[in-house]
Structure 1
Amino acid sequence: MSETTTPPETRSSDGSDTATHAIADADRAGRGSLTMAWWGVCSALFYIFLAATLAIAYGTVNTIIAIVLTIVSYGVVNGVLARSAIKTGLSVSLFSRVLFGRVGALVATAIFFLTAIYYAVFEGSVIAVAASQVVGGLSYGWACVLVVVLAVPMVFGSVQKFLDKLNGVLLPFYVLGLIAAVVATVATYGYSNAWLTYQPAGGAPGTGWFSAYVAYMGVWVLMMFTMDFARFGKRSDVDYHARFNFGIPFYVMTFGVNGLVGIFLVTSGAVASVSETAVVDQLITVLGGVWALLFVWVTQTRINTANFYLATVNMQAFFDKLGIRLTKAVWAVVVGVVALVMMRATDVFSYILTALNYQGIFVTAWVGIAVVHILSPVYRRMFGDQVRYHFDQVPAFNPAGLIAWFGAAITGLAMTISGVGAAWAPVATVLISAGLYAALQRVARPSWYATGVPSAPAVTR
């Protein structure tokens, strides 16, 4: 899905790149700055689209049950991850070195930046679709170029500081836009409580709430996003960030408010099929072209800044360890080029959800391992409060993390591809990864997590 919608600084006070080093206490962001940065992530039409899609498939009641369960589970898990990230200052890439070793961490980093690129392509395409429909003479292809050209500079530090302030205005504008869309829908179609009891043809399946909840597990990449944002939080603000900023209130807005609006818009408008473009079409119908485009631009620009930022810093970290060392600005351009090619050369709406579904299997397995590691006393018994994460402080492979991760992911993929228990694949994946890692930690050796002689100071948690 970045210091506006991206974490605050790209270089620490000592000149080190925050993509490859833990965030020092002196370089942490204030509550307000980090809150506005993170809450930009909630303003994605994807969340509106997802709830609408699930309501059409499983019914409104089942979808709302799934949303409530999702809010609670996301809030609890992300509270754990946020506390760890704030205490250590480690990103997903750096923390993955602890879990999987040097080589294994590269796989996690690659999955993260590829997922962020997918989201950038998806949300960028939404802006391009809206712009091409509203602006006369502007083709979809050129709209894609415009979207990328405007998005890439937002990854740079000086621009991020300006956007951090601008987002203080844009977030309320997004909320007002949602309200306006609901009011305009009522004015266009009238109001009926039928949207609260909507059911698909043939009735809602009895286990529809579970299927809808599993669908929301496909967005667990937000838990990775949490770590890359929360690491910029001050240690003194850890309770605020864990409970509010990255906790349940954020997901009430992200999944609750967005979801209910999505269900209402689509079921009230009697849309026959749901895609994110259908949501855009509905907005254009009820708000009018110019206002709808302005609303879409605000929502997707906020979220896409995060997508481009996270794709950039994780791509940089990945290739840095392969010996390809370029500046963050260069990698931002590379991400932009990749996103542009995918937006123009493919029908993004036909494959993006399928791709994210398969990547989601690896992500849920990662989350299961990360939570067990954070809550387990094993690492602390070995190394005290020191977390060794530098490239030459960790071994190439950590057997505990890799066996748990790939064992769970392969099982999840097999279930999904074969169709045998496919509906349970994400749940099975996270349970297997957590269970395997917990079991392997019982026999883990210090050499699995760290080399004998640390050549750089470890971070203290």
Structure 2
Amino acid sequence: MTEILSSAEEAEEGAQPKRQYAPLAANENREDYSLRFAAHSFRKWSPFVVATTALGGIAYLADFAIGASIVLSYGFTSGVLAILAAAVVIFVTGVPIAAACAKSGVDMDLLTRGAGFGYFGSTLTSLVYASFTVIFFSLEGSIMGQAFELALGIPLPIGYLLATLIVLPFALYGMGAVAKMQTWTQPLWLAGLVLPFVVVLVREPGKFAEFAHFGGTEGTGSGFSAIGFGLGMGVALSLIGQIGEQADYLRFMPEKTAENKRSWWAAVLAAGPGWVILGAAKQIGGALLAFLALGVVGKTHALEPIAPYLEAVKPALGPVALTFAALFVVVSQIKINTTNAYSGSLSFANFFSRVLHKHPGRVWYVLVNCGIALALMEFGAFGFLNKILGFYSNVAIAWIGAVCAHLVIVKPLGLSPSYIEFKRAYLHKINPVGFGSMMVASAVSIAAYFGAFGPFLAAFSPLLALVIAIVLVPTLAVVTRGKYYLARPNTVAGPDVDVDLQATYTCSVCGDPYELPDVADCAKQDGPICSLCCTLDNTCHDMCQTTGPVALGLPAVRTT
């Protein structure tokens, strides 16, 4: 390993560090560089393994419930078109985000900081993202609880608790444990996913044609309804935040080289925006199963994935159908809720580290995430699925739209830095370009959602948020001339510095070595500081942004 140390640091080798992290926060096998740049030395997985792990997170059955809810409410034509249109929007906006996270080794929160939101501006999006993981953890946990009740007779409140506890052993550990779990369970999950549709195709192929003429349960009819299309699309677009969970794994992609370029891009596209292709298919498939089971189980249970799934596989599996259906649901929920808990812990940790200047370790925020989700389950969040997701999508799409516009429009125009800067030492607290655009887009679309501009814009409020965010971001970047992206130049690892980015500096606060993209020059310490120690300092008052860069000395290279 090549380690770069300044001459001053070499003289102080062996000195007692000024900060010692709690054992859980210091264990990178659990922390997974949760608040940091993902070090090149830690990215030991192949593109295939990273992609498989990321795609394991889309095993959720909320897709079945979401698709069923949309099509049962608005009919086949409007509902399916809404699902497909939302999938196109999610895929297009997800491509630049996935590529940026994979190239830069940062998660969604760190990307957002440098993509027009500023250091504290992105705390809001941390909560938006955390709420996404909590909402979907509660929805998925509710589905597992329903499976426990149907298969084992366990009351729902106890089933919800079990659904929460069962994922903790996986979520408390990091990428290594999650990668193994997702890889081992993938074949069983894929077999279970395909089975009900194969059974229907073999036994009742005519049902597919009947489904295509289904008019819904609310009298909307089988024809196209613009309002139904818009409302259904709004529900499906609530899943746009899923790209954040994919990015939490994509940051571990190995560096792109001439040798792995094709596999690298294939993995990024498949595990990044590619999740929505299978996701849309699952939504339509879930709607089909709900339609087939509607006359047997009723509308309420048709929206609960376990009941329609059971009815579909029962003719083929007979007496073991219930056991198999319950097993499929449990495996699916473990796969997705491990990801929800893992990603939620990253987001909560990012938020509280900046607000409280403390970081006890990512694993504690796993418990926070799961605890809030359990409370939502117990309060019956599943029964308000459409309303929760329809409202949430207005904020989520404004955030994703703003980040996407920065990457696709502002950055190529040279109005922002050519790289993703996420460290406090170099960022303004608030960047009005991204943060302001998101706030305006969210406010207008939420007002539209509640009917302020009539029923048509109420139905299409998430698209209104997307358009406003995409237009405002480059507009504000031009008006502000991009001056709020950087508070000062990065003279340590910026694009104008000719250094080996995989070399390391030793943090003058915690005494640990970190690769250069994770290091800043600190005026208070008069030396290098890692990004997390910089975040947690509550006494410096960002003095480095007024004193200018600190000379770290000519680096001395040594090989160990």
Mean CA deviation greater in 446-455 or 192-201: 446-455
Indicate the residue corresponding to 2:526 in structure 1: none
Indicate the residue corresponding to 1:289 in structure 2: 322
Mean CA deviation greater in 440-449 or 163-172: 163-172
Indicate the residue corresponding to 1:20 in structure 2: 35
TM-score w.r.t. length of structure 1: 0.87
> Unmatched 5+ residue regions in structure 2?
1-24, 315-320, 496-500, 502-516, 518-560
Indicate the residue corresponding to 1:3 in structure 2: none
- 1:109-124 correspondence to structure 2 within 5 Å: 109-124=126-141
Indicate the residue corresponding to 1:4 in structure 2: none
Match status 1:170 vs 2:194:
no
One-letter amino acid of the structure 2 residue matched with residue 252 of structure 1: I
Indicate the residue corresponding to 2:365 in structure 1: 331
One-letter amino acid of the structure 1 residue matched with residue 221 of structure 2: G
Shift of 1:455: 8.1
Contact 2:411 2:417 in 1 (8 A): no
Contact 2:48 2:267 in 1 (8 A): no
From the superposition, tell whether residues 21 and 145 of structure 1 become closer, same or farther in structure 2 (CA, over 3 Å).
same
User: Deviation per CA, 1:108-128, whole angstroms, max 9, x where unpaired?
Assistant: 101111221111111011101
- Which structure: larger Rg? 2
Shift of 1:186: 6.7
Match status 1:425 vs 2:456:
no
| % identity of equivalent residues | 17
Match status 1:273 vs 2:294:
no
* CA distance in 2: counterparts of 1:123 and 1:32, whole angstroms: 26
Mean CA deviation greater in 30-39 or 422-431: 30-39
- 1:241-252 correspondence to structure 2 within 5 Å: 241-248=267-274, 250-252=275-277
One-letter amino acid of the structure 1 residue matched with residue 191 of structure 2: L
From the superposition, tell whether residues 202 and 348 of structure 1 become closer, same or farther in structure 2 (CA, over 3 Å).
closer
Indicate the residue corresponding to 2:406 in structure 1: 373
* CA distance in 2: counterparts of 1:215 and 1:14, whole angstroms: 37
Contact 1:393 1:456 in 2 (8 A): no
One-letter amino acid of the structure 1 residue matched with residue 101 of structure 2: A
Indicate the residue corresponding to 2:253 in structure 1: 233
Indicate the residue corresponding to 2:151 in structure 1: 134
Contact 2:293 2:302 in 1 (8 A): no
Mean CA deviation greater in 114-123 or 380-389: 380-389
One-letter amino acid of the structure 1 residue matched with residue 142 of structure 2: S
Indicate the residue corresponding to 1:255 in structure 2: 280
From the superposition, tell whether residues 226 and 415 of structure 1 become closer, same or farther in structure 2 (CA, over 3 Å).
same
Secondary structure, counterpart of 1:114 in structure 2: helix
From the superposition, tell whether residues 425 and 229 of structure 1 become closer, same or farther in structure 2 (CA, over 3 Å).
same
Shift of 1:144: 2.0
Contact 2:93 2:401 in 1 (8 A): no
Answer 1 or 2: which has greater helix percent: 1
Indicate the residue corresponding to 2:435 in structure 1: 402
Contact 1:395 1:447 in 2 (8 A): no
From the superposition, tell whether residues 37 and 11 of structure 1 become closer, same or farther in structure 2 (CA, over 3 Å).
farther
From the superposition, tell whether residues 355 and 409 of structure 1 become closer, same or farther in structure 2 (CA, over 3 Å).
same
* CA distance in 2: counterparts of 1:276 and 1:202, whole angstroms: 18
- 1:150-161 correspondence to structure 2 within 5 Å: 150-157=166-173, 161=176
> Unmatched 5+ residue regions in structure 1?
1-9
* CA distance in 2: counterparts of 1:43 and 1:49, whole angstroms: 13
From the superposition, tell whether residues 11 and 22 of structure 1 become closer, same or farther in structure 2 (CA, over 3 Å).
farther
Shift of 1:195: 1.3
Secondary structure, counterpart of 1:233 in structure 2: coil
Contact 1:185 1:269 in 2 (8 A): no
* CA distance in 2: counterparts of 1:383 and 1:348, whole angstroms: 41
* CA distance in 1: counterparts of 2:290 and 2:50, whole angstroms: 33
Indicate the residue corresponding to 2:479 in structure 1: 443
User: Deviation per CA, 1:219-277, whole angstroms, max 9, x where unpaired?
Assistant: 111132233232222232542234333244x3322212x13321221222234425675
Shift of 1:84: 1.0
